[in-house]
């Protein structure tokens, strides 16, 4: 059943003097101003990270499937066993089955297949976990933010996947940093063919990363040009004549020559090195290498950070360059970018880039800004694009006591949620670490959380990921009326198998202000609705006996209804026959969960 309310009214008329019988039928229901920097921690001298032995993130021979049929059903096991990818099926309890795969079948292929089967609720890879998930990074104890957002709980499920790419649209990244280089994105399409053919994809994930280059299977294939004992970006970011990978050829024909790690849109060259510290700090929160015995940890211990520099050394940049950065990431198939910057003015070109990103299923995470203003009445961009584009997540800043930072912007309609943004320890240039504060520090916590979750659930759409993010916040009383969800990020809850179901319509009553007419529909939801998400734009269609009806709508919450009861008032309808009104599914409850009329556990589905 679709997440729409379908309400049909049949009206039979014999003569104009008789009563009209109404029987409703339910057929279906700028760099934002740079933040305060606290006294930097000491800069660690370079210590050589260990060469990593790659462990698989999930089992290669099985997946887990949650079935709709009764718990322990023999029929369910038989259905799974008869599917094309299954070798054997093991019942794990609580309606969960372990499907052992035939030889050569990729778990991701199997997950994609079973996720679309009508008999399955969900399908997922079987992740490897260990008892101890606190990282051994020496500065981890100073990262209060990681515990606050439930990261250790999430790490019991996954610590990230190297092939998942996050674009950092900022001042660049110090890609040679000892705590970042292993997680720097490599544009595989730009590797010279003669070199690519010699490399081994050590972890078998389909891409070459620095983890692969530092694996024993690639020993001697890439020269340690800087002699520091590891293969890092400095070794390959040099001309082929000097033992590197820069050959002056646009291998992937995207108009950017030798874009190995991203692009510098501020200076229009292929070197997105950070010359400010801001972008490197943001990158560390998202994905500083975890459990490597060095410095700090990111929310993702492993992933790929794409460096998209458009801000100069002073933290200023042009909107046109930000547009190019977003388009670059979108065209590369990247699903997630962080934007810890902002300005006061609306830009049609930036809005168009965000729209293109949305159409590609890409999520934009934006910092709310640091002017202490209500964005609902004083919009700033890109933060305020969240009211127009459902792929934009806007993030406010809280301190360790979950209090909204005094400088943080807010807005019950514009700002999606809050995240830690005060005294955040992360990476800075030249192997350094420092404490920064501001919404620029809050946003990458959300970006990192989305990356960690989406990498483990690759078949989900961007709207499903956002729904999970919003449904998983910790409610904070001081954030009620300040941010849409009324809560602070909790990535641990994102990995909870139970997602709060979105609202649904439980009653609908048609009426007219005059005899033999209709001019309103009163709908009742099962939970309180965020009134700002229920507008005339949520009326998908209105059809009468003569076909589609063009009319205006006025939607108001009924007094005393606790924001559960709403009147939809429309132009007077006098024709006898059947009427149908379709609404949703973007209407949200007060926790930010979209409609779930069919109760299938997936909120906000399109028809």
187, 472, 569, 577 from 252: Cα distances, Å: 9, 39, 55, 60
Q: Which two tokens stand for residue 239?
A: 């001309």
- Is 598 part of the annotated catalytic residue set? no
Chain Cα centroid distance, residue 114? 22
Distance of alpha carbon 502 from the chain centroid? 18
Asked if 149 contacts 269 with a C-beta cutoff of 8 angstroms, the reply is no
Catalytic residue among 340, 440, 456, 472: 440
β-partners of residue 339 are 366
* Active-site annotation holder among 177, 205, 264, 278: 278
CA distances from 376 to 289, 348, 474 (A): 37, 19, 22
List helix spans (H) across 457-546: 462-471, 491-494
What tokens appear for 172 in the block? 């660049």
Residue 183 DSSP class:
G
Q: How far apart are CA 14 and CA 19, in angstroms?
A: 9
| CA distances (Å), origin 102, targets 60, 62, 84, 161, 554 | 10, 9, 9, 24, 57
Phi-psi region of 410 (alpha: psi -120 to 50; beta: other; left: phi over 0): beta
CA distance 599 to 29: 11
Distance CA 434, CA 286 (A): 15
**How much of the chain is helix, strand and coil, in % rounded to 5?**
20, 25, 50
DSSP 22-48: EEEEEEE---SSPPPB-PPPPPPPP-P
Is 477 a catalytic site residue? no
Cross-strand bridge partners of residue 566: 523, 557
Residue 1 burial (10 A CB sphere; 0-12, 13-18, 19+): middle
320 catalytic per annotation:
no
Q: Judge whether 192 and 247 are in contact, CB under 8 Å.
A: yes
Q: Quick one: tokens of 312?
A: 């100069």
The b-or-e profile of 387-418 (16+ CB within 10 A means b, else e) is beeebbbbbbbbbeebebbebbbbbbbbbbbb
Catalytic residue among 145, 203, 205, 247: 247
Per-residue HEC secondary structure of 299-351 comes to: CCCCCEEEEEECECCCCCECHHHHHHHHHHHHHCCCCEEEECCCECCCCHHHH
Helical (H) or strand (E) element with 121 = strand 120-127
- Residue 511's beta-bridge partner residues? 520
Distance CA 76, CA 97 (A): 9
CB 568 within 8 A of CB 579: no
Q: How far is CA 164 from the centre of its chain?
A: 12
Rounded to an integer, what distance in angstroms lies between the CA atom of residue 326 and that of residue 335?
11
* Residues acting as catalytic residues: 247, 278, 440
């Amino acid at each position: 059943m679709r997440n729409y309310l379908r309400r049909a009214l049949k009206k039979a008329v014999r003569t104009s003097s008789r009563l009209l019988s109404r029987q409703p039928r339910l057929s279906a229901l700028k760099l934002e101003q740079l933040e305060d920097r606290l006294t930097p921690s000491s800069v660690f001298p370079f210590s050589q990270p260990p060469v990593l032995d790659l462990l698989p993130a999930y089992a290669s021979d099985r997946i887990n499937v949650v079935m709709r049929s009764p718990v322990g059903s023999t029929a369910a096991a038989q259905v799974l066993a008869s599917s094309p990818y299954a070798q054997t099926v093991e019942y794990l309890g609580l309606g969960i089955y372990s499907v052992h795969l035939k030889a050569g079948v990729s778990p991701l292929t199997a997950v994609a297949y079973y996720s679309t089967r009508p008999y399955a609720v969900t399908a997922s890879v079987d992740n490897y976990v260990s008892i101890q998930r606190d990282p051994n990074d020496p500065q981890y104890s100073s990262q209060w933010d990681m515990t606050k957002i439930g990261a250790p709980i999430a790490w019991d499920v996954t610590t990230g996947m190297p092939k998942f790419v996050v674009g950092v649209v900022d001042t660049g990244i110090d890609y040679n940093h000892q705590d970042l280089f292993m997680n720097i994105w490599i544009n595989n399409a730009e590797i010279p063919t003669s070199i690519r053919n010699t490399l081994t994809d050590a972890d078998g994930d389909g891409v070459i990363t620095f983890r692969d280059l530092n694996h024993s299977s690639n020993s001697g294939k890439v020269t340690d040009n800087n002699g520091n004992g590891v293969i890092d970006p400095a070794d390959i970011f040099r001309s082929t004549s000097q033992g590197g990978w820069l050959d002056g050829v646009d291998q992937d024909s995207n108009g950017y020559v030798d874009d190995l790690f991203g692009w510098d849109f501020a200076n229009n060259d292929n070197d997105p090195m950070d010359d400010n510290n801001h972008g490197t700090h943001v990158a560390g929160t998202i994905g500083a290498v975890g459990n490597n015995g060095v410095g700090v940890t990111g929310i993702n211990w492993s992933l790929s950070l794409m460096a998209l520099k458009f801000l100069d050394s002073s933290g200023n940049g042009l909107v046109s360059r930000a547009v190019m950065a977003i388009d670059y990431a979108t065209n590369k198939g990247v699903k997630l970018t962080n934007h810890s910057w902002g300005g006061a003015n609306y830009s049609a070109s930036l809005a168009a880039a965000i729209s293109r990103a949305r159409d590609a299923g890409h999520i934009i995470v934006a910092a709310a800004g640091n002017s202490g203003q209500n964005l609902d009445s004083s919009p700033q961009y890109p933060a305020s694009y969240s009211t127009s584009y459902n792929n934009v997540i806007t993030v406010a800043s809280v301190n360790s006591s979950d209090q909204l930072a005094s400088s943080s912007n807010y807005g019950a309609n514009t700002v999606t949620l809050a995240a830690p943004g005060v005294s955040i320890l992360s990476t800075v240039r030249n192997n350094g670490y420092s404490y920064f504060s501001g919404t620029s520090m809050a946003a990458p916590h959300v970006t990192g959380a989305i990356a960690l979750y989406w990498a483990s659930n690759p078949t989900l759409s961007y709207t499903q990921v956002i729904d999970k993010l919003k449904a998983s916040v910790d409610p904070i009383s001081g954030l009620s009326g300040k941010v849409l969800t009324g809560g602070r990020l909790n990535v641990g809850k994102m990995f909870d198998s139970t997602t709060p179901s979105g609202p649904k319509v439980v009653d609908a009553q048609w009426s007219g202000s005059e005899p033999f007419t209709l001019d309103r529909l009163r709908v009742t939801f099962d939970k309180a609705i965020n009134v700002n998400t229920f507008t005339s734009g949520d009326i998908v269609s209105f059809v009468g006996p003569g076909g589609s009806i063009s009319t205006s709508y006025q939607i108001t919450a009924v007094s005393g209804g606790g924001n559960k009861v709403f009147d939809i008032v429309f132009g007077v309808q006098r024709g006898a026959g059947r009427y149908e009104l379709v609404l949703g599914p973007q209407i949200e409850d007060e926790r930010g969960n979209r409609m779930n009329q069919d109760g299938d556990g997936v909120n906000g589905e399109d028809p």
